[in-house]
A and B are shown apart, each in its own frame.
Chain A
Amino acid sequence: MTMTTMQSTSTADRTVRRAVLPDDDPFLPRPAFVTEIRGETPGIATYRIEFADPDRAAQYEYEPGQFNMLWMPGIGEVPISIASARDEGPGILHTIRATGRVTNAMAKLKPGSPIGMRGPYGRGWPLKQAEGRDVLVVSGGLGLAPLRPVVLALLANRDRYGKVVLMHGARTPKDLLYDYEYESWGKHGIETLITVDRGDVAWRGRVGVVPVLFNRISIDPVRTLMMTCGPEVLMRFAVAEAVAREIPEGWIYYSLERNMHCAIGLCGHCQLGPDFVCKDGPVFDHSQTARFFSREHF
């Protein structure tokens, strides 16, 4: 019988028996550890997670926009998008809101806690297609998490892209994710427009919803590609603004959320018409999904 042991130790002295697993059972999570936890905004934290097996870690390749299934043994699995760039140290960063049974349990983890991880899954953002073009990144709330590796990739190869604009919004200034990075992104060539639904006494920035920011920028539809992620209502308005400005449907990309159990196109939960969001998405271009995107209750 094959089995795997997930030792609960600190990362410093890790004595993990090498995982011997049937590599071909795609349902089986791999042993991993939380090695760092960073509090972000209220209810949201970023977890660095490393595979226990160094070979597994070395083989792991992903595209920005892909996601992992994180497993709290005895509780359940959740799909979490990858929030890190490739050069941010060992493991993978996941920014998670404590909102359900599994993510609330994760909120109690400590560095060194064992966890299960499998992935990466799905199709990522069109960084290649975006080369040579202006790039519009539009996000709301936690929707910035899967776009953060996009921002970092655009920064890392800034000369390959035209004008790059990030438009991001949150409910309140306290909910602005990764706000400690905006200044640096702005300095290195990404026009960063931030807005909040409600300000507070200290807030000197914009107040209003994200789609309104479209009026603040000039868009050349001949050379602009948009990537958006956030609450579905935000994405609907962002897509409408982009379409109104004649960005072609095939250059409008969004990352969709659906219920997911398996992440491998077998369990049936994440369907959106002909597509399984887990394997055909989560990133879609609007020409592919226009007739189902934003259809109520579909």
Chain B
Amino acid sequence: MNSSAGIAPTGETVVIEKPVLGAIIDRLWRDGYTVVGPTLAESAIVIDQVRAIDDLPIGWTDEQEAGMYRLRRREDRAYFGYAVGPHSWKQYLFPPKTTLYSIEFHADAMTVKPNVDPVPSYAFLGVRSCDLHAIEIQDRVFLHGPYVDRHYQARREKALIIAVHCAVAASTCFCASMGTGPRSVRGFDLALTELEGEFLVEIATPRGAAICDGIPSRAATGYELGAAARIVDKTRDSMKRSLNTNGLPDLLYQNLEHPRWDQVAERCLSCTNCTMVCPTCFCHALEDVPALDGASSEKIRQWDSCFNPDHAHMAGGNNRPDIRSRYRQWLTHKLASWVDQYGVSGCVGCGRCVTWCPVGIDITEEAAAIRGDQQ
């Protein structure tokens, strides 16, 4: 999985001059894609529409720590010289708020209309390996269970994915220990490695090839392939955090009454940030939202979080009335029951929950604390 060959198994690898990425972006827009990728806004690198190459945070990087995020100027003009920000591609495939269907009330009848709004064809530019795995995990949730989520499916099938192999790791990254990066191995149409003046482009699918058709490029040299592999290897070696997943589900199930849950509950604000930035969290609420005039209503699907007090509310009372039980639910779901449900961990080691926790709670530290003092 982590072979150092820089070539996609079924495609070819070409080299383009860096500014040619702009031509690819133009091409995508012309072909009807809405190109979204990293941009600078709100003092962070967030995902938004990329109209031209200048929309990318060229020459910027980020500094991340538990509960801390800062933008910094780089000394070079790297296009992708930063790690993941607070946004993930989840917001496009599984939007924070969607209308599933609407209802019109008439004098003696009502009409139910499924939402048939056209779904955009997104081209995701700059998807990291952790996020490719996150998309694959949400595919397992929404597409491969007994019921298929048609709303997710419509967006997912149209999306074109351009991955970027990570050249830098934030201090909060731990994908290497989760087996989810930093090299992107599957789930993309194209994958870029940023060299000094060029991009190495792995063409993995016919859709990816179609986008590159006619774009000025040349075959990659052996030296360039080696250099590209070394970039990702260096990123892996520089990763500071890790999460030991060995036997983790059983370990957590056996420690459901560990005192660590009480300790983390004293710090956790139950703010839901970790679940909002998590690229795999999928909990959502379904709500009827009637119009003020009472003539119509919409069925809304909205991101929910197991940290919301209402999440476990039922007629018989609240099943998780305190922060201890909510944090325990989140962590055991992410790292233990997720494996039972979907065959893989729900954590891809992107580190977002660590960075964006206002009090700096670190999932790797919590799991390690329980492992280090098992009951």
Contacts and interface: CB of A to CB of B under 8 A. Distances in A.
Interface of A: 1-9, 21-22, 24-29, 31, 72-77, 97, 99-100, 103, 114, 116, 231-232, 257-259, 261-262, 264-269, 271, 273-274, 276, 279, 291, 295-298
Contacts of A97: 315
Given A3-B111, A28-B114, A259-B319, A298 B283 contact: no
Contacts of B287: 76
Given A259-B314, A273-B337, A295-B256, A268 B108 contact: no
Contacts of A269: 283, 285, 304, 311-312
20 contacts: A1-B116, A5-B111, A6-B111, A24-B148, A26-B148, A27-B101, A27-B151, A27-B286, A72-B288, A75-B290, A97-B315, A99-B315, A231-B316, A259-B311, A266-B284, A267-B285, A271-B333, A273-B337, A296-B325, A298-B328
Interface stretch (B139-147, B164-172, B175-183, B211-219): B139-147
A291 to B, nearest CB: 7
Contacts of A268: 282-284, 304, 306
Contacts, number: 154
B363 to A, nearest CB: 18
Given A6-B110, A76-B288, A298-B329, A266 B105 contact: no
Contacts of B109: 5-8, 114
B286 A267 contact: yes
B70 to A, nearest CB: 33
Contacts of B288: 72-77
Contacts of B113: 1-3
B319 A266 contact: no
B340 A274 contact: yes
A273 B253 contact: yes
Interface in B311-357: 311-316, 319-322, 324-325, 328-329, 332-333, 337, 340-341
A6 B315 contact: no
Q: How large is the interface on B (under 10, 10 to 19, 20 to 34, 35 or more residues)?
A: 35 or more
A288 to B, nearest CB: 11
Interface residue SS majority, chain A: loop
Contacts of A22: 114, 150
Given A24-B148, A271-B333, A73 B110 contact: yes
A172 B299 CA distance: 39
A50 B158 CA distance: 38
Given A265-B147, A295-B256, A298-B325, A114 B110 contact: yes
A24 B150 contact: yes
Interface in B71-110: 100-101, 103, 105, 108-110
B303 to A, nearest CB: 10
B112 interface: yes
B149 interface: yes
A4 B112 contact: yes
B105 A74 contact: yes
Contacts of A1: 113-114, 116
Nearest to B283: A268
B283 A264 contact: no
B304 A2 contact: no
B140 to A, nearest CB: 12
B314 A9 contact: no
